[in-house]
Structure 1
C-alpha cells in the first residue's frame, strides 16, 4: 500500500485540509491509512516523542508531497522534513503555492528538481497525472478531479500569504538551520534503524510474551497506553463487527447477553469458527479458542488491567475527552479502536 507523507506548515490549515480531504481522498481515492499528515486529528499518537514518530513515517513513506508556502519556508521544522526527504532519497513533489517562483528552492537540496508551480487548477491536475503515471494512485474520474482541483485552487488563492518572501540573508540562515536539522534527522533515522534491529533480535531470542511486553512498554503511561491501542487496533481492523461486539459483551458487559438478527452472517461466522451460537437462549459468543481472537482478547484484558492501575492517566484522558475512559464504554471503542460495537 502506497504511503504518502504530506509535509506542510501548521499555519496553513485550510489549504492542508482541502488538499487531504478533497484532492487526495475524494478526487484521487487515496485512503486515510495511506496518508500521513500531522495536521489531521488523531494522526500524531499520544505521547511526547512525536519527532521519532514523524521520522519513522517519513522513512516508511513512498511519496513525499511538500505544500510549500511562505509560512512553510519560515518553519525550521518544515525545512528539516525537506532535508530529511532529500537525505532519504524519497520520491518528492514540491508544490509551490503563495505565487512563489521556482527560485525559492534554489538554496535547498531540491535545486534543479522539477517542482509544480500552482498558478492555475491545471497545475494541480498535473500532480494527479504524475502520481497516476507512477502507479501511486489508481485512475480517477476526470470530471470530479477537475472540480476538486478548482476547489483546491480557490482555497489556495483565498489563503495566500501576502507577506514578503524571506530575504537572501534570512534564507541563508534558514539553509544553515536546515543543515543542522538534517544532521539531527539523520541521527534519529539511525536510532530508528537500530531500535528496529533490536526488536527483531529480541524476537529471535525471547518468547512471544516477553516480546509483546517489550513492544507495549512506553517511556510514559501515555505512550504505553497508545502502544496498547495501536496493537489492539491492528487486530480489530480485520475482525467482523459482530465478532467484536461478542467480545465486548462477553468480557466487558457481562450483564447483557448478545444477539443480532442476521442469520446468514452469523452462520458464516460460525462456520469460520469465530462464533458459537446458542439458538435456544438467543445468545452469541465469540470462540475464545480461536488463535487470532485469543490474542486480541488477551491484549484487551492487558489494557483493561493497565488502566485499572493508572488513575492519573485516566484522570488526564477523561479531562481531555470529557468521557469515561473504560473498555465498558462503547464510546471508548469508537474513539480509540475506530470500531462500532453493536449493543
Structure 2
C-alpha cells in the first residue's frame, strides 16, 4: 500500500513550471521532502505507473493532512481541479488556497466556499499561510532562516514565471457584472472630472479679465466649492468642546503647544483650578510631570489638531482665505490656535 502524503498539491496541468517552483518553496517552508507532497505533474510524486489516475487522486486527497490549491486561471477552467477542491471541502481537510494572478480575491469569492486564501505574490501572507498549515496539520516548521531563504528564492522565480501564466478562457457572471459596474463608475468619474475642468477654465477666463484684488477674491469665492471652511470649523468646534473634558481652555492651549513640539506644563500658581482639574481627570500626571497621552480626550485633541494642519496642506486657499479676513492662518503657530479656540 502506497504511503499517504502529508500534503496534496492541487493544480492545473497547464501550470507545470509554476507548480515545480512552488512545490520547492512549499517543501522547504514546511520542512518536508518531495515524497511527502503528492503532485500529479511532477515525476515520482504523482500517480504510480499503471495506476488508475482517478482512483489514486481520490485516495491521495482523502489521505492527505492538508490540501494546497494553486488557483490560477487554468485551475478555474478545469472541472477536475474544481472537483479536487470540492472533495477536500467535503472531507473537511485543511485547505490553503493560493490565488495566482491575474486571478484576484474577487474571482475567489464563490470558489473558496468561505475559506480565506492568500495571494502567491504576497510574501507575508504566503508565509503566514504556511504557518497556519503547519499548525493545522501538525507538521513542524523548520527554522525561520530556512523558510526566509526559500521564500526569497521563490519570489525571484515568480518575477519570471508570472508572465507565463495562461489567461482564463472564461469569466463568471459575477466577475463580468462587477467589471461592467467598474466601467460605469469610471465613466461617471470621467464626466465629473470634465465638468470640474470646464468650471476651472471658466474661472481662469474670468480672472484674466480683472485686475482688482477684491474682484479676484470674489471670483475665487464664487468658484470655490472645496468646503474647507466647513471642515475647518467642524474640527475647531470639536476642539472647543473638549475644554471641559480636559480641564479648561488653558489646558487645551498647553496641550496644543505640546502638539506643536513645545514642552510645556500646567501652571499651578496662575491656573491652579484648571491645573488641578486636569490632574483629577487624569489628563496630567503632576507627580511624573507629564501629560497622559493615552487619555482618550487627549488623543482626540491631538487627532483634531493634526486634521486642522492637514486641511491647510490639502487646501492652500484656506490660509489665503483667513488672511484676507485679517485672521491668523498658520496652524503651526500658537497664535492661530489662541484666536480660534
Q: Higher relative CO (CA 8 A, sep ≥ 6), structure 1 or 2?
A: 1
Q: Which has the higher helix share?
A: 2
